[in-house]
């Protein structure tokens, strides 16, 4: 959940107003489909964030040095794998994953048990997400998250959506969870081993290993518990089916909008549960 008091004087009311007014923020500045105008857009965005309640230090430490990424735009426009047939997609994305996933479930059995007891989300589902998102933390991405999110926020295709993500990313830095340098991830700004978007981090990321630090890059307990917290927060029903047509399958659909990916998560979880 969103914290009641945010650091650097940013209150809950201010953050909510930032998120609620995302669409108006995005439309107030001219978006663009080329790099021309990005620097002007970024300067305006910084001023708006300071006016909305973030400190100069929070905004500058998050956004100084941010650059427009042509590669991010190319990747955003060419997500061809999600257009593959289910059989092709599933075979390609899950090769060797059942064997490795079962080893992970055995290795972290106690953690999975604690997580399921608290959130009601079972090990096979969490392991499916974990494997499909980053091959169990092997491929988390190395891109500058702030540059990726700023590029996509400026871009006209999904400006409002990514403006909300960029604001949340600034909050993550502002609250001391990650530094700008540490915020590395996939091309769309995803964070950690189950590829949390910044808004998901703000709302659901949890310290589950008890070290008083949220670490979705290296702490498996934090990764699994945070992912389970998201599923519970989005309506997951403990002990019920996750097959297509079920209530829990609709929760999976909230995780990723691509139907072929939803079906793959469900099928892989079935295999891991055997």
* Percent above pLDDT 70 for the chain: 89
- Both 269 and 206 in one domain: the answer is yes
Domain closes at, from 191, 211, 229: 191
135 shares a domain with 121: yes
- Confidence bin at 20 (pLDDT 50/70/90): very low
Can you give the pLDDT at residue 27?
Answer: 46
Report if residue 90 sits inside a domain. no
Query: For the chain, what is the mean pLDDT?
Result: 91
The reply to whether 57 and 162 lie within a common domain is: yes
What is the arithmetic mean of pLDDT over 232-236? 98
pLDDT band at 255 (very low <50, low <70, confident <90, very high): very high
Our measurement of the distance from residue 176's CA atom to the centroid of its chain's CA atoms, rounded to an integer in Å, reads 18
Q: What is the CATH number of the domain that holds 112?
A: 1.10.530.10
Question: 184 in a domain, yes or no?
Answer: yes
Q: Are 114 and 153 members of one domain?
A: no
| Residues 28, 65 share a domain | yes
Q: What pLDDT was estimated at residue 93?
A: 94
- Does residue 101 share a domain with residue 127? yes
**32-72 pLDDT, tens digit each:** 989 999 999 999 999 999 998 999 999 999 999 999 999 99
Domain that holds residue 102: 96-140+202-273
Out of 160, 191, 222, a domain closes at 191
Is the same domain home to 107 and 146? Answer: no
At 18 the pLDDT is 53
Query: Residue 83: pLDDT band by 50, 70, 90 thresholds?
Result: confident
- Residue 145 CA to residue 126 CA, distance in Å, equals 24
Residue 146 lies in a domain: yes
Q: Is the pLDDT of residue 143 over 90?
A: yes
Per-residue pLDDT, 21: 52
Decide: helix, strand or coil at residue 196. strand
Structural Rg of the chain based on CA atoms: 19
Does residue 2 lie within any of the structural domains? no
Give the CATH number, domain containing residue 145.
Answer: 1.10.8.350
The tens digit of pLDDT for each residue in 206-225 reads 999 999 999 999 999 999 99
Decide if 85 is inside a domain: no
User: Last residue of some domain: 158, 191, 224?
Assistant: 191
pLDDT at 214: 98
* Domains identified in the chain, total number: 2
Q: What is the pLDDT of residue 17?
A: 53
> What pLDDT was estimated at residue 82?
80
Q: Are residues 147 and 136 in the same domain?
A: no
Question: Is residue 80 assigned to a domain?
Answer: no
User: Which of 2-11, 98-107, 182-191 bottoms out in mean pLDDT, i.e. has the lowest?
Assistant: 2-11
Q: Is residue 87 part of a domain?
A: no
Q: Which of 49, 131, 62, 141 is nearest to 97 (CA)?
A: 131
Query: Average of pLDDT values for 195-205?
Result: 98
pLDDT at 86: 94
Q: 60 and 120: one domain? A: no
Q: Are residues 133 and 42 in the same domain?
A: no
Q: Which residues is 5 bridged to in the sheet?
A: 11
Query: Could you tell me if 168 and 222 lie in one domain?
Result: no
The predicted structure's pLDDT at residue 259? 95
Residues 61 and 109 in one domain: no
Provide the pLDDT confidence category of residue 159 given band limits of 50, 70 and 90.
very high
**Contacts of 161 by beta carbon, 8 Å cutoff, 6+ apart:** none
Query: What is the per-residue pLDDT for 161?
Result: 96
Query: Does position 252 have pLDDT exceeding 60, yes or no?
Result: yes
Contact partners, residue 268, CB within 8 Å, separation at least 6: 90, 94, 97, 98, 101, 128, 131, 132
In this structure, is residue 197 part of a structural domain? no
């Amino acid at each position: 959940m969103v914290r009641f008091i945010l650091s650097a004087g940013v209150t809950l009311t201010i953050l909510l107003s930032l998120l609620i007014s995302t669409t108006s923020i995005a439309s107030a500045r001219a978006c663009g489909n080329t790099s021309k105008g990005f620097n002007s857009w970024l300067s305006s965005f910084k001023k708006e964030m300071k006016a909305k309640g973030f400190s100069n230090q929070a905004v500058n430490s998050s956004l100084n040095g941010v650059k427009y990424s042509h590669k991010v735009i190319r990747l955003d426009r060419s997500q061809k794998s999600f257009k593959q047939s289910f059989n092709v997609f599933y075979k390609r994305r899950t090769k060797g994953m059942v064997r490795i996933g079962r080893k992970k479930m055995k290795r972290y059995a106690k953690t999975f048990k604690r997580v399921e007891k608290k959130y009601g989300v079972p090990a096979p589902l969490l392991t499916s997400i974990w494997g499909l998102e980053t091959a169990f933390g092997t491929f988390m991405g190395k891109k500058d998250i702030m540059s990726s999110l700023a590029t996509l926020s400026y871009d006209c295709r999904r400006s409002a959506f990514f403006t909300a993500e960029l604001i949340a990313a600034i909050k993550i830095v502002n609250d001391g969870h990650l530094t700008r340098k540490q915020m590395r991830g996939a091309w769309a700004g995803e964070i950690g081993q189950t590829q949390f978007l910044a808004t998901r981090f703000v709302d659901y990321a949890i310290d589950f290993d008890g070290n008083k630090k949220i670490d979705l890059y290296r702490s498996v307990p934090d990764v699994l518990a945070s992912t389970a917290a998201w599923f519970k927060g989005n309506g997951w029903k403990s002990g019920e089916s996750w097959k297509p047509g079920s209530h829990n399958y609709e929760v999976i659909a909230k995780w990723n909008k691509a139907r072929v990916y939803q079906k793959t998560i469900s099928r892989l979880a079935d295999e891991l549960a055997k």
